[in-house]
Structure 1
């Protein structure tokens, strides 16, 4: 196959061949190979270029997702897999992104925990289960969330939430025990731990 045209597209180069095949490659790869118009490539070279092209497409898609927000490795893998990219190429690309610190599960877990615990007022257990679903390793989750264990703000959030919920339930004619059960279930649904719920209930129900 003969190269008919090379077109620079940002950090990539689109190579068009005489049989109308088109391959998108990383600019540095093209420069390293020294490809020029009218170069004739063997079948083996074309196969290697196809693999490089697939990797370029995976990398471009990965950066596109990362430009919108930070992702965990597991999240990014699933999104790329849905685009029907090969698992081997996806993992190679993600390994490279991790080495260059474009992808960092510990950083992601910390940012995610801060947002959900303090802005969304989730409990630690809900954050834990969601991080696990996003593919974060248990060890990383435990290390990240251990820093928030016993945080006064989380208790204050629980108190704030059930104080508001108690007002909502105030016209329901619940007994004290029923009210306590309702508030307990509400905080459990938001992922708060048993001990913290007990402390929050003691504060709110004594008012």
Structure 2
């Protein structure tokens, strides 16, 4: 049984997009992707985007800051991985750089040290240099910078 897609009014679509943004911070790319579900003319899309920004439902800086905080403090990702994912969401390099102050430098270094210790201690039956190199690779895969990893573990 095929469901007929109910056609929504402009205001209903606008409300759905407001709810989409209220539920969780979104970036422009996510909202534009969501808008593709609704057959809207460009002017209507533009009007909704402007409304969402004017009413502060859609705020790229707030989105970027909360994304950075979440990915670092909850998922323990490094700056490189966070930056890569934000770029995929079409957030500008300038915006990303200006929002990285959400991560406290001491927290960043302490996280590297903690992950290094945890991961390294689980490497059994291999020589020390292999353990070290494997752990550094692991940290880099989590998006931490090689230079900073080196500074932290050689302190």
**1:79-94 equivalence runs, <5 A:** 79-81=34-36, 83-86=37-40, 88=42, 89-94=44-49
**Residue 58 of structure 1 contacts residue 85 of structure 1 at CA under 8 Å; is this kept in 2?**
no
Report the structure number with the largest CA radius of gyration. Answer: 1
Give the Cα separation in 1 of the matches to 2:50 and 2:13. Answer: 12
Unaligned runs of 5+ in 2: 1-5
Q: Are the structure 2 counterparts of residues 157 and 187 from structure 1 closer, same or farther at C-alpha, using a change threshold of 3 Å? A: same
Q: When the two structures are superposed, what TM-score results if normalisation uses the length of structure 2? A: 0.85
Is 2:147 the counterpart of 1:192?
no
Structure having greater relative contact order (Cα 8 Å, sep ≥ 6): 2
> Runs of 4 or more off by more than 3 Å in structure 1?
none
What is the TM-score of this pair, normalised by structure 1? Answer: 0.65
Taking structure 1 as reference, are residues 115 and 150 closer, same or farther at Cα in structure 2, changes over 3 Å only?
closer
For structure 1, which runs of at least 5 residues remain unmatched after alignment? Answer: 1-21, 25-52
Q: Distance in 2 between matches of 1:87 and 1:187?
A: 46
The alpha-carbon deviation at position 177 of structure 1 amounts to 2.1
Question: In proportion to residue count, which structure has more strand?
Answer: 1
Query: How many residue pairs are counted as aligned between the two chains?
Result: 149
CA distance in 2, matches of 1:69, 1:56: 20
Query: Could you tell me whether the CA contact under 8 Å between 1:106 and 1:144 is conserved in 2?
Result: yes
